[in-house]
Structure 1
Amino acid sequence: MTKEMQPATQQPLGFWALRAGEAIRSRTRGRLAEVGVTQPEWWVLHQLSMHHTGMSQDDIVSIVGPNESDDSIARAIETGIDKGWLDRSGDHIRLTDKGTKQFHAAAEVQQQLNDERRQGISGRDYATTIEVLQRTLTNVGSDAWHW
């Protein structure tokens, strides 16, 4: 049985944004755990997959830290090194072969999750949703940036 709700135009954006964020994060973390990766580890692996020659820790943290916290990203880098996924030479960090394999396993999960989340949502509707949320942040005097 579905409960009746007010029309969408009368419902609070913050409520739905928060619920969507919580649900997406929970689902993502659960599925990534199935392949032995935390979400912060995923963010690090993903960033390094796009920078084949590696990156400094400061650059990684500055790009993905806003997803959760700088400390969580620094910990993910350390656990990635401990697991043999990452190699550090001075402040330069790069993926190892083992890390590249782990990245591909996690990337497959992320693609499945993206497909799941976007079922029945057109590309235009998805883009509009992102643009509305971005505009809402601006309207309330805030901002955000996502690579």
Structure 2
Amino acid sequence: MVFIQPFPKDNYLCLFGVHEKMLNKMQARFDEGLIEDFYKYLAEPWATAIFHDRFADFRDEIRELLITSPKDKDATLEDLSRQLVDEETGLNDQQRKELLMAYVSTGAKRAVETRLLNFISYNYYHLPMYAKPGMV
């Protein structure tokens, strides 16, 4: 007897517009032969938050955080990344380090981490597979 699971169409609709790197570098993992079945891969516990009904709002909140300047005259991380990125070649190692330093020094990294932990804590009833502070 074969058990057939229903196709989770609502989950897959949530993936529209989501970069493959947000899906644990799905393309690289596929190219390396680490993913044989996309359905099984996306059914793993790590992906649960991506399919959560509030995750799109969380993504929007993070995007707003990263495109907003901490001070009125400072460049945003988005502005800096646009200055650094060459459409043809992407980021080199030095540019990547510069962007990472800006991400950390502006406090954006800490703010993103805080918001992520808040998202997990607030929705923990649906996301018990994720670790949160105080568990260890």
**TM-score bin (small chain):** 0.3 to 0.5
The TM-score normalised by the length of structure 2 is: 0.32
- Return the structure number with greater helix share: 1
The TM-score normalised by the length of structure 1 is: 0.31
